[in-house]
Amino acid sequence: MDTASRRPGQRSHVSGPNSALTEFLREKGIDTSGIQALSSARARARNEAAHRRSVAASLEAAEIGEEIDEDEEVGESSASAARRKKKVSKDEDNDEEMLDVEEEEPVRTRRGRASRATTKIDLKVVGKRKRKSTTVKDTESEFEEIEEEEMIAVRATRTRKLTKAQLAKKKAGEQRKLEEDDEFNPDNFLDPALRPVPGQIAFCAECECRFTVTPYSRSADDGEGLLCHTCGKKGAPAEKAARKKKQTTRTNKKSAARAILDGDTSNVKSLQEICINTVAKYIDDVETLGYIGSHNVDKISQIICKNRRLNGETINLFFEPAEHVLRFYDCSGISSDSLRQIAAFVPTIRRLHLNWCGLMKDECLDYYGTQLKQLTSLELYGAFNVTEECYIRFFKNVGSRLTEFAVKDTSRFKAAAVEALVDNCPELEVLRLHTLTFIDDECVRLLTGLPNLKILEITDSQASIKDGPIIDCLNTFGPGLSELTLNGCKDLTDATLDAIHSSCGRLDILNLDEAELLTNDGIGKLFTEWSLNYGLKELSLRNCTNLQSSGFARIIDHSSRTLERLTINRCKDIEKDAWTFLQEFTLPELEVLDISFVRCVDDAVIEGILKVAPELKTLKVWGCNKITESCALKEGMLLVGREADILA
């Protein structure tokens, strides 16, 4: 045999002669090593138990000293059990022979143990036979000489008078112990070696009838023995109810936590909501939605998309011929042809929003470009199959009609597409470039050709974006900008902040998440004497870790009157003095505040914030572990992420 073909760990197929059973097991692919180990462990356990019992019995026997006839029956059954055991171990021996040479060593020790176990059982048999007929002399007699003492102990067991009930009790006690170890009764703990074999006969602790033990047999309430199937069933309903109750409390807690995360404050839903949920539930049976108001249509779309029920069938329900706005939040199950039908059935559409439209192909977007004559706004999320050439054709077809464009999650939207967009759509006011692979400095510089831009979002581009092009852009359309989102542009520095300071007079929303290089001084400077800007409505500085109390004070000083949403998530250097400073202001418009992972926040800070921000509706405090349950909260305000709520 080629030595290279022999891999380590591969079992050799050379084996000696073996029994029919061994052959059969091997053919069926049954591995006997597990069974072997189990049976030897069981035999050992039985012997230990027998030994323990015999010691106890010999003590008791002295007191009782009576003989019973049933003894024989018991002896008989244990003898046959022993014989069975013996046979099994013989078979095992045969099986072992076919094992590998490598396994020889452990096998040998196992065999040794097994034969030892067999010996002990044999002793019992000998003891019994001797008592039955003293004339019997067989080969087993040699054992008597070897382990005289043990035999006496065994005989003591036999001579001990046992009633059926006592026997059952003993057996049941043993089984109970075993069962306790099993997963059905995890609270109890018992010697696993005493595991009763399912299939054994036992006596019920309650009605004393004979029954066959199964892994599902229950133990009696007082712990004395097992219950038969009928008695076990009696207790089941109560147990089931308790389990159910436990489960419902868990679900309640879960749904309460979910409601907090969803921002769901009122416990009674509006009738419209209930109806929408019902309709969404039976959406497959709905033939037509009829006139239910476009905001309700949108809500139904949201719900069935959330449940992933939007498909080629259900999408037809939303095709109202005169509709102007269509939003589908999960188009992953909709083929390119079905998406194409949107333009065929609803040619009047002005705003189209498609999320996760991964199946969309070039011809679909081409069709939109030519067919949708009123389209002004398009959002395509996850259309990764659409090629760059197709985007270019689309922009040429749509031309200056397009005022809003958003694209997300694709690697095929590159500089050439941006160039086509800038050249063909000069009226563009909203541009959102979200999670695109190839948006870099070059692309950003091209955007300077869009003088009418009011909203610019560049989020999570995988290429690095530096200050230079952003400053160029801000110099062109900065004065008109109302929203600037540069989320995840990690290379931005204070130079960008200076440009914002000098040009963005109308800015309402500023998002500089993850811009870790911004300094406290830079942020402070942006908000110092920024009279050009009246005040921001939304500010997000998530993970701008350099922000300190002094910078925060500048922000509040400038925008406290107008701020509606403020995020300073993970600005860990903000100290307590910032919150003291805050007390001198009021934040009349503030509705959402995210101060997660600002570690200094405690109950007093929260209470102070509630005092100065009367309109506050949502307060996010993930990771602020100083906040306790005793913190006084306002009715109707949502506190999200308090550790005390989650851990309770």
Instruction: By CB under 8 A, name the binding residues for other proteins.
Output: 252, 266-272, 274-276, 278-279, 281-282, 285-286, 289-293, 296
Minimum separation from the CB atom of position 164 to other proteins (A):
52
Q: Smallest gap, in angstroms, from Cβ of residue 292 to other proteins?
A: 5
Q: In the complex, what is the shortest distance from the CB of residue 637 to other proteins, in angstroms, rounded to a whole number?
A: 15
Q: Residue 168 is encoded by which pair of tokens? A: 């059952």
Asked if residues 622 and 642 have their Cβ atoms less than 8 Å apart, the reply is no
Give per-residue burial for 182-202: e unless 16+ CB within 10 Å, then b.
beeeeeeebeebbbbeeeeeb
Beta carbons of 558 and 529 less than 8 angstroms apart: no
Two tokens, residue 244: 């159910």
Is residue 467 within 8 Å of residue 495, measured between CB atoms? yes
Least distance to other proteins, CB of residue 276, Å: 6
Distance, CA of 599 to CA of 589 (rounded, Å): 25
Question: Min. distance of Cβ 249 from other proteins in angstroms?
Answer: 10
The least distance separating other proteins from the CB of residue 346, rounded to whole angstroms, comes to: 20
Those residues with Cβ within 8 angstroms of residue 631's Cβ, 6 or more apart along the chain or in another chain: 603, 606, 607, 639, 642
In the complex with other proteins, the residue whose CB is nearer, 283 or 456, is 283
- Which of residues 77 and 255 has its CB atom nearest to other proteins in the complex? 255
Cβ 607 to other proteins, closest distance in Å?
Answer: 22
Taking the least distance from each CB to other proteins, the nearer of 253 and 396 is 253
Reported as half-sphere exposure (CB side, CA atoms, 13 A), residue 461 has a value of 27
- Least distance (Å) from other proteins to the CB of residue 284? 11
Of 163 and 252, CB closest to other proteins: 252
Least distance CB 621 / other proteins (angstroms): 22
Query: Which residue, 238 or 268, has its beta carbon nearer to other proteins?
Result: 268
CB of 308 to other proteins, least distance (A): 20
- Rounded to whole angstroms, the Cα distance separating 40 from 110 reads 8
Q: In this complex, which beta carbon is closest to other proteins, that of residue 294 or of residue 448? A: 294
Nearer to other proteins, 248 or 348 (CB): 248
Which residues in 314-329 are b (16+ Cβ under 10 Å) and which e? Answer: bbebbbbeebeebbbb
Give the DSSP H/E element, type plus range, for residue 86.
helix 70-97
Task: With beta carbons less than 8 A apart as the criterion, state whether 601 and 626 touch.
Answer: yes
Closest approach of other proteins to the CB of residue 305, in Å? 18
Please say which residue, 77 or 247, places its beta carbon nearer to other proteins. Answer: 247
What are the contacts of 385-388 at 24+ separation with CB within 8 A?
385/358, 385/359, 385/360, 385/361, 386/360, 386/361, 386/362, 386/410, 386/412, 387/362, 387/412, 388/412, 388/413, 388/414, 388/416, 388/417
CA distance 325 to 451: 26
Closer CB to other proteins, residue 294 or residue 502?
294
- Which of residues 289 and 610 has its CB atom nearest to other proteins in the complex? 289
- Output 222 or 285, the one with its CB closest to other proteins: 285
Distance CA 493, CA 468 (A): 10
Question: Alpha helix locations (H) across 163-224?
Answer: 164-181
- 268 vs 632 by CB, closer to other proteins: 268
Q: Which helix (DSSP H) or strand (DSSP E) does residue 539 occupy?
A: strand 538-540
For residue 641, what are the CA distances in angstroms to 14, 258, 333, 597, 621? 65, 11, 34, 10, 5
Cβ distance 94 to 21 under 8 Å? yes
DSSP letters spanning 393-418: HHHHHHGGG--EEEEEEES---HHHH
Cβ of residue 511: shortest distance to other proteins, in angstroms? Answer: 35
How does strand 210-212 pair with strand 201-203? Answer: antiparallel
Which residue number, 296 or 437, has a Cβ lying nearer to other proteins?
296
Give the nearest distance from C-beta 272 to other proteins in angstroms.
Answer: 4
Q: Is 439 exposed, middle or buried (0-12, 13-18, 19+ CB in 10 A)?
A: buried
Nearest Cα neighbor of 77 from 113, 136, 121, 41 is 121
CB of 271 to other proteins, least distance (A): 4
Q: What is the DSSP secondary structure assignment for residue 219, as one 8-state letter?
A: B
Beta carbon of residue 289, minimum distance to other proteins (angstroms, whole number): 7
* Nearer residue to other proteins within complex by CB, 149 or 291: 291
Nearer to other proteins by Cβ, of 285 and 529: the residue is: 285
Spatial CA neighbour of 127 closest among 84, 158, 87 = 158
Residues 6+ apart with CB under 8 A from 581: 549, 552, 553, 556
What single string gives the DSSP state of each residue in 601-618? -BHHHHHHHHHH-TT--E
